[in-house]
């Protein structure tokens, strides 16, 4: 049997009063699991909350790894094209133009990946529907928000090698030293 008490008073005082009343009726009647509704709700959602925090931590690590991977791929591509970038700069390309070129290539790949990811996620919504509460599996704001975060991370990962490519000295790059 469960009894729920509603009061605006201090929960500890209500629990003490309830114990006294039950003890007055029958001193041998045991009372157990006396807790506030807040504690009951908190304990009932503690495991799902832990899983979501764990999942969020894994997602943050995955985002960091994706950023490092994108940076590595773009930096490698820029280093492989250092002579081409040196020729472009020797022929008059400005540092801003080189940054835009490298950033543009990185962002084109990021946007293509974001579109493919959104399409793939839309196909996966049927399997996710049973795991979500209070949120639609096809919520466009969530899809666009996640895609925007990933594109922003890709922009940052592309900007660093682009800036390094813009500092390339044409004479060094043409000699194969840059």
Co-location of 54 and 28 in the same domain: no
What are 105-153's pLDDT values in tens digits?
889 989 999 999 999 888 888 777 776 767 777 778 888 998 999 899 8
Co-location of 37 and 103 in the same domain: no
Co-location of 108 and 134 in the same domain: yes
45 vs 155, higher pLDDT: 155
Co-location of 81 and 107 in the same domain: yes
Question: Number of H helices and number of E strands within the chain?
Answer: 8, 0
Co-location of 33 and 79 in the same domain: no
Please determine, for residue 42, whether its predicted confidence score (pLDDT) is greater than 90.
Answer: no
Rounded to an integer, what distance in angstroms lies between the CA atom of residue 62 and that of residue 125?
A: 21
**Structure tokens that stand for 104 in this block:** 């543009």
2 is a domain residue? no
Co-location of 76 and 140 in the same domain: yes
Co-location of 164 and 90 in the same domain: yes
Average pLDDT rounded to a whole number, residues 85-90 = 85
Co-location of 16 and 54 in the same domain: no
Under 8 Å between Cβ of 113 and 121: no
The pLDDT of residue 38: 82
Please determine, for residue 91, whether its predicted confidence score (pLDDT) is greater than 90.
Answer: no
Percent of the chain with pLDDT over 70: 95
157 is a domain residue? yes
Rounded to an integer, what distance in angstroms lies between the CA atom of residue 129 and that of residue 76?
A: 40
173 vs 164, higher pLDDT: 164
Please determine, for residue 51, whether its predicted confidence score (pLDDT) is greater than 70.
Answer: yes
Co-location of 104 and 123 in the same domain: yes
The pLDDT of residue 122: 85
Domains contained in the chain, number = 2
Rounded to an integer, what distance in angstroms lies between the CA atom of residue 149 and that of residue 79?
A: 27
Band of pLDDT at residue 178, cut at 50, 70 and 90: low
Band of pLDDT at residue 49, cut at 50, 70 and 90: confident
Co-location of 95 and 125 in the same domain: yes
Co-location of 36 and 55 in the same domain: no
Co-location of 114 and 82 in the same domain: yes
61 is a domain residue? yes
The pLDDT of residue 177: 62
Whole domain around residue 34: which residue ranges?
11-41
């Amino acid at each position: 049997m469960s009894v729920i008490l509603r009061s605006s008073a201090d929960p500890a005082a209500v629990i003490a009063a309830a114990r006294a009343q039950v003890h007055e009726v029958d001193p041998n009647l045991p009372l157990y699991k006396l807790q506030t509704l807040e504690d009951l709700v908190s304990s009932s959602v503690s495991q799902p909350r832990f899983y979501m925090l764990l999942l969020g931590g894994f997602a943050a690590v995955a985002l960091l790894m994706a950023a490092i991977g994108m940076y590595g791929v773009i930096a490698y591509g820029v280093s492989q094209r250092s002579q081409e970038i040196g020729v472009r700069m020797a022929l008059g390309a400005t540092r801003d133009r080189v940054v835009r070129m490298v950033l543009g290539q990185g962002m084109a790949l990021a946007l293509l990946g974001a579109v493919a990811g959104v399409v793939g996620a839309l196909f996966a919504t049927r399997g996710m529907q049973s795991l979500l509460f209070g949120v639609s599996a096809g919520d466009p704001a969530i899809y666009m928000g996640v895609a925007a975060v990933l594109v922003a991370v890709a922009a940052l990962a592309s900007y660093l090698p682009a800036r390094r490519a813009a500092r390339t000295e044409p004479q060094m790059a043409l000699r194969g030293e840059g």
